[in-house]
Amino acid sequence: MIVRALTELGVDTIFGYPGGAVLPIYDELFKQNKIRHILVRHEQGATHAAEGYARTTGKPGVVLVTSGPGATNAVTGLTDAMLDSIPLICLTGQVARALIGNDAFQEADTVGITRPCTKHSYLVKETAKLPKIIYEAFWVAENGRPGPVVIDLPKDVQVEKAEYIRPNEAEHRTYHPQTVGEDAAIKVAIERLRKAKRPILYTGGGVINAGPEASKSLYDLAKKTNAPVTNTLMGLGAYPASDKQFLGMLGMHGTWEANHAMHDCDVMVCVGARFDDRVTGNIEQFSPGSFKIHIDIDLSSINKNVHVDLPIVGDAGVILKQLLAEWDAQNGSKTQPDLTPWWNQIERWRDRKCLSYKDQDDVIMPQKSLERLYELTKHLDPVVSTEVGQHQMWAAQFYGFDKPNRWLTSGGLGTMGYGFPAAVGAQIADPDRLVICIAGDASIQMNIQELSTAVQHNANVKIFIMNNEYMGMVRQWQDLNYDGRYSHSYSDSLPDFVKLAEAYGCTGLRVSHPDELDDTIRKMVETPGPVVVDCCVAKLENCFPMFAAGAKHTEIILSSDEIEPKDDSVIAMV
C-alpha cells in the first residue's frame, strides 16, 4: 500500500537505510522497479540528500529509515529542512502497535521527538488510512510554507492487509494556507514603491520555493521598477548574479553595497525572507527610515523580528505577479521619480570593492580558489552545494548564480555535514549536470561516509575541499572575539583526502600552488566519477566583509585591520 501510494504520487527516488522495522517496505521495494532506492551510509545523509533532491527539482524529497536510531539519526536533517522550508517526506519504521510504549528493541517516540522539528507528523494506527495519510502528507509538505513531514509506520501496519482506496483529493481537511495577496495591500505596496526614491528588493528562499516562475517575475519587477536587488543566503539564484541591478548577498557577510542600501533605502520590499538575525544585525538600528513591505506565505514570519509597515500574506510567485500587474495599472514606470541619485550612491558603495583581497603568489587564497572555480565552471551551469563555515560564505560571495535551484546550502540551521549528501541528492536527480560540493576540511568529515553512496549510485559529485586545517569560522570568531585563543579549532590529524578518496574508489587530487589551480579544477571537471580535490589554501585568512553580530548594517568590517575588542555581554548575545 505504501509503495503504491508513493508511486501514484509520482515518487521516483527514495533515500533510505533499511532496518528491522521497515523490512516489509523494503521487501515491497525489492519487487518493483518504478521507484529507485538510494542506499545511503547514515540516515542523516539520507535526509540531506533528499533536501538536495527537493531543492533542485522542486519536488518533495522522500526518506525511508527504520525505527529508533534510524529515526533519531534523521532528526538533524528534518530540523534543517524545517528551518530552510524544504519539503520532505520521512517514512520511519516503528515497532508493532502492541509494543509501542514498552521500551521495545529499537523503539523511540519518533513522533514526539520530531514534533518540534517537523511541519506535521503522523503515527499510522489504522492500515486502511495509509493511502489517505500519505496523500495528505505530501500536500502538507508542499503547500503553504514547505517543510518536513514524518509518517511513523508500525511494523504490523506495514504487513496488515486492507482494501486500498485511492484518495480522490490530496488535500488536508482544515489546513488551507492563503496564497493570493489582498488587493488593497497590493495597491498600497505599489503606491509606495512607485513613489520611492531609494527602493530595494530584498528577497529570500521563499522566491526559490515558489518555483522558477517566481524568479522570472522578480526579474521583471526589478526591471520595471529599476530597483536594486539583494538576496539572502537562501535566496541566491532567484535573481541573476550577473545582472547590474544585483547588489550581492546581504547580511553578516554580505556586500558593502547591499547592506548600505538596506540601511539607507526608503521603501523595502521583502519577498520570501524572514529578517533573520544574520541579515538584520542590530534590530533597533535596522534600516531605520524605510517603509517596509513584507511578502511571506507564513503569517508567523511577519513582525517576528522586525516591525513591518505593510504585511502581505501569500505565495511569493502569485504576489509578484499581482505586483507586476498593479505596477502597470498605476503606470509606475512613467510616474516614479528619477532613481539616478540612488544608483549613483550605490555605485559609490560598489567602488569600495568590498570583496577584494590581497592575492599571493606562493599560496592559494581561498577567495582566489572560488573565483577560479566560478570562472572555469560557470558555463556548465552547475549545481553548487556547500557545507557550513568560511568556505560557505566565500562561496556565497564569489560563486554567482544566474538561475534558481542551483544553490544548496544550510542557511537556517547551519548544519556541517549537509553539503556533500545534498550534492549527492542533486546529482541523483540530474545525473548529467555538474554538481560541485564546496567544503571545508572539518565539515566534509561530518558525512564523509557518503562517498560510498556516491560511488555505488554513480553520483559523480565533485568535492572541492578548501583545506586550511582549521574550523575556519570558529577560528575567525576566536580571532574577533576571544583574542585569538584558538580553543580546539585546529583540525589536527586530518586524513590524507587524496588517499581517502582513493580508498573509496574515487579520484583524489591535491593542489597547493596557485599556478596549478586552474589545471586541477579542469581536471576535476573532466575526470569521470566522484572526485575529491584537496585544495590547500592560506591557513589564516578570514572572511570579510563582516558586521559583528548585533552591529548595525553600516558598521561593516572590511579587513582584519579594523577589528576592535568587544565586551562579554555583546559576545554572549551572538
Partner 1 sequence: MNETGTIEHHTISLIVDNEAGVLARVIGLFSGRGYNIESLTVAEVDSESQRSRITIVTSGTRMIIEQIKAQLDRIVSVSKVADLTIEGPHVSRDIALIKVAGEGEKRVEALRLADVFRARVVDSTSCSFVFELTGQAGKIDAFIELMKDLGLVEVARTGAVALSRGATGL
Catalytic residue positions, numbered: 43, 105-106, 155, 473
Is there binding between residue 116 and partner 1 (CB under 8 A)? yes
Supply the minimum distance, in Å, between the C-beta of residue 299 and partner 1: 4
Is there binding between residue 123 and partner 1 (CB under 8 A)? yes
- CA gap 232, 465 in Å, rounded: 24
75-114 footprint of partner 1 as x/- string (CB under 8 A): ------------------------------------xx--
- CA gap 275, 204 in Å, rounded: 10
Contact stretch for partner 1 (CB under 8 A) within 72-80, 90-98, 120-128, 413-421: 120-128
Supply the minimum distance, in Å, between the C-beta of residue 549 and partner 1: 16
Cell of 147: 517543510
Binder to partner 1 among 47, 121, 158, 369 (CB under 8 A)? Answer: 121
454-473 footprint of partner 1 as x/- string (CB under 8 A): --------------------
Is there binding between residue 129 and partner 1 (CB under 8 A)? no
Which residues have CB under 8 Å from 142's CB, separation 6+? 60, 87
Binder to partner 1 among 284, 483, 561, 564 (CB under 8 A)? Answer: 284
Whether 322 and 186 have beta carbons less than 8 Å apart is answered as yes
Instruction: Tell me whether residue 85 or residue 255 sits nearer to partner 1 (CB atom).
Output: 85
Contact stretch for partner 1 (CB under 8 A) within 167-175, 324-332, 358-366, 462-470: 167-175
Instruction: Tell me whether residue 286 or residue 497 sits nearer to partner 1 (CB atom).
Output: 286
Relative to beta strand 36-39, strand 531-536 is unpaired
β-bridge mates for residue 46, sequence order? none
Instruction: Tell me whether residue 152 or residue 371 sits nearer to partner 1 (CB atom).
Output: 152
Instruction: Tell me whether residue 121 or residue 336 sits nearer to partner 1 (CB atom).
Output: 121
Size of the residue set binding partner 1 (CB under 8 A): 26
Binder to partner 1 among 174, 340, 344, 569 (CB under 8 A)? Answer: 174
Q: How far is CA 403 from CA 177, 407, 419, in A?
A: 27, 9, 19
- Quick one: which of 249, 289, 293 has its CA closest to 265? 289
Instruction: Tell me whether residue 151 or residue 424 sits nearer to partner 1 (CB atom).
Output: 151
The amino acid that residue 192 corresponds to is R
Is there binding between residue 337 and partner 1 (CB under 8 A)? no
Supply the minimum distance, in Å, between the C-beta of residue 89 and partner 1: 14
Q: In what order do the strands lie in the sheet with 88-94?
A: 36-39, 13-16, 61-65, 88-94, 148-154, 120-123
The amino acid that residue 170 corresponds to is A
Q: What is the DSSP string of 10-78?
A: T--EEEE---GGGHHHHHHHHT-SSSEEEE-SSHHHHHHHHHHHHHHHSSPEEEEE-STHHHHHTHHHH
Is there binding between residue 175 and partner 1 (CB under 8 A)? yes
Cell of 210: 515558489
Within 296-335, the residues that bind partner 1 by CB under 8 A are 298-300, 302-307
Whether 57 and 426 have beta carbons less than 8 Å apart is answered as no
Whether 299 and 380 have beta carbons less than 8 Å apart is answered as no
- CA gap 470, 476 in Å, rounded: 10
β-bridge mates for residue 413, sequence order? none
Instruction: Tell me whether residue 125 or residue 166 sits nearer to partner 1 (CB atom).
Output: 125
154: helix, strand or coil:
strand
Instruction: Tell me whether residue 144 or residue 235 sits nearer to partner 1 (CB atom).
Output: 144
Instruction: Tell me whether residue 284 or residue 492 sits nearer to partner 1 (CB atom).
Output: 284
Whether 487 and 435 have beta carbons less than 8 Å apart is answered as no
Instruction: Tell me whether residue 112 or residue 484 sits nearer to partner 1 (CB atom).
Output: 112
Which residues have CB under 8 Å from 36's CB, separation 6+? 12, 13, 14, 428
Supply the minimum distance, in Å, between the C-beta of residue 304 and partner 1: 6
- Quick one: which of 274, 271, 267, 287 has its CA closest to 225? 267
Supply the minimum distance, in Å, between the C-beta of residue 307 and partner 1: 7
Whether 532 and 463 have beta carbons less than 8 Å apart is answered as yes
Instruction: Tell me whether residue 110 or residue 460 sits nearer to partner 1 (CB atom).
Output: 110
Own/partner pairs for 249-254, CB < 8 Å, 24+ apart?
249/396, 249/397, 250/202, 250/279, 251/276, 251/278, 251/279, 251/281, 252/278, 252/279, 252/281, 252/546, 252/547, 252/549, 253/393, 253/396, 253/397, 253/543, 253/544, 253/545, 253/546, 254/230, 254/279, 254/545
CA within 13 Å, CB half, 125? 5
Supply the minimum distance, in Å, between the C-beta of residue 192 and partner 1: 22
Binding region for partner 1 (CB under 8 A): 111-112, 115-116, 119-121, 123, 125, 140, 145, 172-175, 283-284, 298-300, 302-307
